[in-house]
Amino acid sequence: MTKSTLLDGAGTAALIRQELAEDARRLLARGTVPGLGVLLVGDDPASAVYVRSKTRACEELGLFHETRHLPSSATTDEVVAEVAAFNERPDIHGILVQLPLPPQVDQERVLDLVDPRKDVDGFHPENVGRLVQKRPRYVPCTPAGIMELLRRHDVPLTGRRAVVVGRSDIVGKPMAQLLLQADATVTTCHSRTRDLHEVTREADVLVAAIGRAGLIRERHVKEGAVVVDVGMNRITREEEAVDQLEPSRLSAFRARGSALVGDVHFPSVSRVAGALTPVPGGVGPLTIALLLRNTILAATSA
């Protein structure tokens, strides 16, 4: 039986987008149309879905968007040329380079070229440094969305123990930084952490962002902890589905042949966690909402 309170990321994201709609209307009234330039390289299905979701959200708020789609064979120079073109355009206020890039493309060179004033993902070294110094221009969208979720659900952070599982530049590192700035005591775990469950069981707030389906199980979670699941993993095998899905989701899995699950083993963790984000419908919608916020901020600052 599920014990946890579900943290409604989709509902929270909808509220944020309602608030942003007023900001967008004010900009449009003065003749400024916030513009997002999206660069998609290759044919990864998940990346294509993410891009469609982001651009559809732009349309709902009346934002301009333009997607440049390069083939998976694109070179670093070709990708760089597209970023440089977006940098020069006054109608593009924010630039999103959809990750991951194909292996032959120098991701670091590409992200470093994005104008820091248009870097709405917050990945440019200048923006990373500003975040660490507590004077951010743009906060990376997923960690920023998680902080909004915790704030709007009145989850206390001051003096609490927080554990982040994952150390990526996109989620893990900025997430730890934001929790630290909120006066939590923060531990970062990763694939080399020994006795992971002994560390995570100390957490009042546990953020799982390591990209391994169902890694975090009941034994990893302290009774009553708040658990945020950033993972987005597609499972296709029946034995995985039986293990990781609630019975109510099994019929849909068998009809489709696949399902999305997080890094948290929902059936077991929901028995002990005080609050838990679902997958899907948890962190994903928040990421998109915060991308819109950063794009509107970029247009306001232009």
How crowded is residue 237: how many other Cβ atoms within 10 Å of its Cβ? 10
Instruction: Read off the DSSP letter of residue 289.
Output: H
Q: List the catalytic residue out of 8, 119, 121, 204.
A: 121
Q: Decide if 92 contacts 68 (C-beta within 8 A).
A: no
Residue 218 CA, distance from chain mean position: 24
What does the radius of gyration of the chain's CA atoms come to, in whole angstroms? 19
Supply the angle between the helices 45-61 and 9-29 in degrees, to the nearest 10: 50
Q: List the catalytic residue out of 54, 118, 173, 222.
A: 54
Residue 204 CA, distance from chain mean position: 21
112 catalytic residue (yes or no): no
Residue 204 neighbours by CB under 8 Å, 6+ apart: 160, 161, 162, 222, 225, 226
104 catalytic residue (yes or no): no
How far is it, in rounded angstroms, from Cα 297 to Cα 59? 17
Supply the angle between the helices 125-132 and 172-181 in degrees, to the nearest 10: 30
Strands 259-261 and 233-235, sheet pairing? antiparallel
Instruction: Read off the DSSP letter of residue 101.
Output: P
How far is it, in rounded angstroms, from Cα 184 to Cα 204? 10
54 catalytic residue (yes or no): yes
Q: Decide if 183 contacts 158 (C-beta within 8 A).
A: yes
Q: Which residues are catalytic?
A: 54, 98, 121
